[in-house]
Amino acid sequence: MFGLIIGLLIGGIAGWLAGKVMNSEGGMMRNIILGIVGGIVGNAVLGMIGIHGSGFIGKIIVALVGSCIVIWLVNNLSKG
């Protein structure tokens, strides 16, 4: 249960940061939700190439990369 809460917290922080990095026009809540999804995507994508985040900062960086990917995909798919 504690791991789930930490995972959601890391995803939320990464989503907020990714919204700033990507200059996303979406709202803060949208970016946080996409960040939670992005944490999963980041772990999967970077895990395939052998990169794993270690510690709190490492996990945020991995989730940030995944969040940027998800925000980019959502922004491009919603345009048309």
pLDDT means over runs of 10, the chain (80 residues):
89 93 87 91 92 90 94 86
Half-sphere exposure of 56 (CA within 13 A, CB side): 3
Tell me what pLDDT residue 80 has: 63
Q: 3-state class of 26 per DSSP?
A: coil
Residue 74: how many CB atoms within 10 A of its CB? 17
Domain that holds residue 10: 2-78
Tell me what pLDDT residue 67 has: 94
Q: What predicted TM-score, i.e. pTM, was given to this entire model?
A: 0.89
From residue 6, give the alpha-carbon distance in Å to each of 1, 3, 49, 56.
9, 5, 24, 9
- What is the rounded CA–CA span in Å between residue 16 and residue 10? 10
- What is the rounded CA–CA span in Å between residue 15 and residue 29? 9
Tell me what pLDDT residue 52 has: 86
Tell me what pLDDT residue 3 has: 85
